[in-house]
Amino acid sequence: MISAGLVTSGLLEIYFHRQESWEHFGLIQKESADATASKIEQFVQEIARTMRAATKTREIVREGLSPDYKWELRRLLVNSPSITAAAGFDLNGVKHAEARRLKPFPSQDKWNSVIHAALEKAKQRQFHFGPVYFPEEGTFPEGAGPYMTIAVPIERFAGEVIGMLVAEIDLKYVGQVISSIHVGKAGHAYLVTGSGQLIAHSDLSLVLQKRNLAQLDQMKAAFQPNSKEPKPIALVTRNLHGEKVFASYALISSLGWAVLTEQPIQEIYVPLYASMLRTSGVLLFGLGVALVATLFVSRRVVRPLETLRQGVERIRQGDLSTRLELQTGDEIQILADEFNEMAAHLREAYSDLERKVAERTQELTTVNEKLVEVSEHKSRFLANVNHELRTPLSSIIGYARLLRRETEGQISLLQRENLKDLLRNAERLLRLIDSLLDFAKIEAGKMEVQLEPVRIEELVQGAAASIEPILNKVAVRLIRDIPSEIAPLYTDREKLRQIILNLLGNAVKFTDRGEIRISASQEDGDFKLAVADTGIGIDKADVHRIFEEFDRGRLINDGSYRGTGLGLAIVKRLVGVLGGSIIVESEVGKGSTFTVTLPFKTREATSL
Ligand code: ADP
């Protein structure tokens, strides 16, 4: 930003300097052109005044224009070196007296060519300034000029014009005035007529070559009639050599001439370049200072901030021992101190937390160990108690069946019903004990797995047959959907049967109408078995609980569906023993689908 500011101000400085120096040089040139113009005008007017003085003689008053007037004319030539010839004419254009430095110049023709216009002016008592001309080729003197004629009226008495005094002026004397003018170091001035003819130049040869400068821009500017737009006082253009110049002009309106001044453009640029150089120097210095300032700021601010950032990063990565060493003596140091304090607090809090976690973990481990011990006690107790219960219960059932057979037709209907009830309850009790036994065994880790090839179709058929008796065939349809192409599964037949029986048993128990569908599929090395029903469904809140032992979900106090809450717990553990998993999708009132996924093992692949 500092650099941008410096560069902008530098460029503006250069731009304005250029404008100013343009104006400055323009003014100088214009002044010098004006001064030269007035000098030249004075020079010509001076000659005209001298000529006018030569018309006011006693002879003229006494005799009018006579041949003797030549003496006066000769005196005029002696006094005015720039006059090369002079003659007195009367109002009819007749020459009465003449004096000249060189013969025969100017020719009679030249006199005649100016006389007519000059006479008109003389009659009105005005001076006449004739056009600038060069001697014709081959005439004497060779290579002279340019010349002009001036005519002034001759008055015998004031207001009585009797003729005119015509003189030829050698303009090389004007050239001397022009040559003495210097514009700047290498600049110069020159004089031109309205038609573009060069009258005087520091290089006389250019004048003698009769160069015409009508096409130059500065010429056009000088002679351009006054318009509403202000004329430029100076302009950048080409000179007669085609070089680029800075030029100005001044009009001599009484003569119809103009002074042109010019200066090589480089001369204008020199101070401009010097200023550019100076500005660049200042700019470089400024940039250097800006750089040093930036480095200083970076040392003072950016680096400490970077250190701070790294500290935060280390804390984020868990290095709570991070401390910052910043001695900047400003707000950043205060920030760093706060940071260090915060890190210390954090570290304290963290170690406190770690200590508490360790304590709790220790407590939990102890509790856990106790729980495991208790659980083992429970399992062992269950196993023992169950065994003790099972034996007498089996014999009760055996005797009850025997009694039912043997008392066939000998007891009353009521007694028979009672006996049937007894048997049914005993059998339920036995099933419950069996379940408890199974569960206890699993819990005690005494489950053995016996792998063998199992045809899933057969297994499902057997299970379906064993639940047929309890199926309400009128309202519920049992559908088996087992593709025959499923290869034999290498697993524990008994455990899988128990899984299927439990799931089918639940489906039958909780489904009053609709269908129960058992299906199997084989995908991506997995074997999937699904039991879907259109029964009462399971509450969303219960879905995760029902696999816990003795948890019956919302049926916990429901007498209409008998159960222990052990079936699914056993299923889940059996599935686990076989290396699989079970999920349930259900909606209350619509039904449930239990899906068991087992790894599909063949005899070759298994390592069990
Ligand atoms: P139990 O059937 O002896 O109560 P389970 O462990 O087999 O015990 O089932 C636990 C609970 O899961 C059941 O009490 C019942 O709420 C729910 N449940 C299991 N299977 C189904 C099913 N097919 N449809 C509806 N609810 C079921």
Ligand 1, pocket-test mutation among 503, 510, 592, most atoms within 8 A of CB: 510
Residues above pLDDT 90, as percent of the chain: 33
Residues above pLDDT 70, as percent of the chain: 94
Which pairs with CB-CB distance under 8 Å and at least 24 residues apart come from 50-56?
A: 50/76, 50/79, 50/80, 51/76, 51/80, 51/83, 51/86, 51/150, 51/152, 51/165, 51/167, 52/127, 52/152, 52/165, 54/86, 54/165, 55/152, 55/153, 55/154, 55/155, 55/165, 56/155
More confident residue, 552 or 299: 299
Q: Under a CB-based contact definition with an 8 Å cutoff, are residues 476 and 512 in contact?
A: yes
Q: How far is the CA of 546 from the centre of ligand 1 (A)?
A: 7
- Asked whether the predicted pLDDT for residue 144 surpasses 80, the reply is no
Q: How far is the CA of 126 from the centre of ligand 1 (A)?
A: 142
For residue 524, what pLDDT is reported?
80
Ligand 1 atom at minimum distance from 552 CA: 14
* DSSP H or E stretch at residue 530: strand 526-533
Ligand 1, pocket-test mutation among 433, 470, 552, 570, most atoms within 8 A of CB: 552
More confident residue, 379 or 405: 405
Kindly report the length of the chain.
Answer: 608
d(CA 376, CA 592): 34
Q: Calculate the average pLDDT of the chain.
A: 86
More confident residue, 380 or 344: 344
For residue 132, what pLDDT is reported?
86
Query: Taking phi first (over 0 means left), then psi (-120 to 50 degrees means alpha), and beta for anything else, what does residue 124 get?
Result: alpha
Residue with the smallest CA separation from ligand 1 atom 11 is 552
Residue with the smallest CA separation from ligand 1 atom 14 is 552
Dump pLDDT digits (tens) for 123-143.
999 999 988 887 776 665 655
Cα angle 35-38-41, degrees, rounded to a multiple of 5: 150
Ligand 1 atom at minimum distance from 507 CA: 23
Ligand 1 atom at minimum distance from 531 CA: 23
Dump pLDDT digits (tens) for 478-510.
999 999 888 888 899 989 999 999 999 999 999
Q: Under a CB-based contact definition with an 8 Å cutoff, are residues 525 and 581 in contact?
A: no
Residue with the smallest CA separation from ligand 1 atom 12 is 546
Q: How confident is the model at residue 259 (pLDDT cuts 50, 70, 90)?
A: very high
For residue 585, what pLDDT is reported?
95
- Asked whether the predicted pLDDT for residue 67 surpasses 80, the reply is yes
Cα angle 189-194-197, degrees, rounded to a multiple of 5: 65
Q: How confident is the model at residue 518 (pLDDT cuts 50, 70, 90)?
A: very high
For residue 590, what pLDDT is reported?
94
Ligand 1 atom at minimum distance from 553 CA: 16
Q: Average the pLDDT over each of 136-140, 580-584, 604-608 and give the range with the smallest value.
A: 604-608
Residue with the smallest CA separation from ligand 1 atom 2 is 563
For residue 559, what pLDDT is reported?
62
Q: How far is the CA of 505 from the centre of ligand 1 (A)?
A: 9
Ligand 1 atom at minimum distance from 551 CA: 10
Ligand 1, pocket-test mutation among 500, 538, 547, most atoms within 8 A of CB: 538
d(CA 159, CA 241): 50
For residue 167, what pLDDT is reported?
92
Q: What is the mean pLDDT of residues 225-231?
A: 72
For residue 104, what pLDDT is reported?
59
Q: What is the mean pLDDT of residues 102-115?
A: 70
Q: How confident is the model at residue 210 (pLDDT cuts 50, 70, 90)?
A: confident
Dump pLDDT digits (tens) for 15-63.
888 888 888 888 988 999 999 999 999 999 999 999 999 999 888 888 8
Residue with the smallest CA separation from ligand 1 atom 20 is 506
- Asked whether the predicted pLDDT for residue 227 surpasses 70, the reply is no
Contact partners, residue 551, CB within 8 Å, separation at least 6: 545, 565, 569
Ligand 1, pocket-test mutation among 428, 506, 540, 596, most atoms within 8 A of CB: 506
Q: What is the mean pLDDT of residues 394-406?
A: 91
Dump pLDDT digits (tens) for 420-462.
999 988 988 888 888 877 777 777 676 778 889 999 999 999 9
The binding-site residues of ligand 1, defined as CB within 6 angstroms of any ligand atom, are: 506-507, 510, 533, 535-538, 546, 552-553, 555, 563-569, 592
Global pTM value: 0.49
Omega of the bond prior to 264 within 30 degrees of 0, cis? no
Q: How confident is the model at residue 605 (pLDDT cuts 50, 70, 90)?
A: very low
- The values of phi and psi at residue 185, to 5°, are -85, -50
Q: How confident is the model at residue 105 (pLDDT cuts 50, 70, 90)?
A: low
d(CA 228, CA 64): 51
For residue 179, what pLDDT is reported?
85
Q: How far is the CA of 444 from the centre of ligand 1 (A)?
A: 24
d(CA 529, CA 503): 10
For residue 157, what pLDDT is reported?
85
Dump pLDDT digits (tens) for 529-576.
999 999 999 999 888 888 988 777 766 666 667 777 888 999 999 999
Residue with the smallest CA separation from ligand 1 atom 23 is 507
Q: At what angle do helices 456-467 and 493-509 cross, to 10 degrees?
A: 40
For residue 20, what pLDDT is reported?
86
Q: What is the mean pLDDT of residues 191-215?
A: 85
- Asked whether the predicted pLDDT for residue 603 surpasses 60, the reply is no
